[in-house]
Amino acid sequence: MKRAMLSMAILVAGTVSATSAEIAPEDVVFKDGAVETPLTDKPGDPANGRKVVGTKKLGNCVACHQVSEMSDVPFHGEIGPSLDGVGDRYTEAELRALLVDAKKVFDGTIMPSFYKTGPYIRPGKAFTGKAPDGPLPPLLTAQQIEDVVAYLKTLKE
Ligand code: HEC
């Protein structure tokens, strides 16, 4: 019985990895501050990336960064550098690394790690003082990261 369940689990896991063409947060490979391999098979969509950058519930990058091209979005913060021209300052692989886990690029930065599930200092489960159940999902999906990278590449000097 135990054995049957085990082979079933392996079967299920096999099916999942065969259909999803996504690199999981814990499998992302960093090399010299860059992530060369795209996180998904689908090319990034700059229009959707722009939405993620400017939307509070998504990336909310504008809370900390100014983007001149986005004058339609209100309240740009000045905590981080302006994103104008980042498409010239960084390669695609460097931008991807920065978004996945900025802490691996800028030591001790306050910029959030957008594609990471841990280890974190995890927030407690509401009012119980206990850790939440299960791993926390990353802030953005693999596709959203690729979309934001595609958008940032359009920001030239
Ligand atoms: C809480 C504030 C905060 C948020 C939110 C944030 N960042 Fe940052 N970001 C920073 C800071 C601060 C830096 C500068 C690095 C450092 O010295 O810490 C930075 C650096 C960068 C850089 C490098 C800029 C350069 O010219 O060197 C890029 C690109 C960037 N962020 C993109 C983004 C994107 C895209 C998002 C949203 C998905 C985002 N950031 C969200 C704070 C933030």
Q: What is the pLDDT of residues 57-99, one digit of tens each?
A: 999 999 999 999 999 998 899 999 999 999 999 999 999 999 9
> What confidence score (pLDDT) does residue 12 get?
52
**In residues, how long is the chain?**
157
* Residue 14 C-beta-side C-alpha neighbours within 13 Å: 6
Say if ligand 1 is within 6 A of residue 87 CB.
no
pLDDT band at 18 (very low <50, low <70, confident <90, very high): very low
Model confidence at 132, in pLDDT bands (50, 70, 90)? low
Residue 33 has pLDDT above 50, yes or no: yes
Max CA pair span of the chain: 64
**Domain at 19-153: CATH architecture:** Orthogonal Bundle (1.10)
Please name the residue whose Cα sits nearest to atom 41 of ligand 1: 61
Q: Is the CB of 33 under 6 A from ligand 1?
A: no
Average pLDDT of the segment spanning 85-114: 96
Minimum-distance ligand 1 atom for the alpha carbon of 108: 18
**Pairwise CA distance, residues 60 & 124, whole Å:** 23
Q: How far is the CA of 83 from the centre of ligand 1 (A)?
A: 8
Percent of the chain at pLDDT exceeding 70: 79
Provide the pLDDT for residue 137.
85
Asked if the bond preceding 138 is cis, omega within 30° of 0, the reply is no
H helices of 67-127, where? 86-89, 92-100
The model's confidence at residue 5, banded by pLDDT at 50, 70 and 90, is low
- Supply the pTM of this predicted model: 0.84
φ/ψ of residue 22, rounded to 5: -130, 140
User: What is residue 76's predicted lDDT score, i.e. its pLDDT?
Assistant: 92
> What pLDDT digit, counting tens, does each position of 43-56 carry?
999 999 999 999 99
Q: What is the DSSP letter of 81?
A: -
Q: How far apart are CA 24 and CA 127, in angstroms?
A: 30
Q: Tell me the one-letter amino acid at 73.
A: V
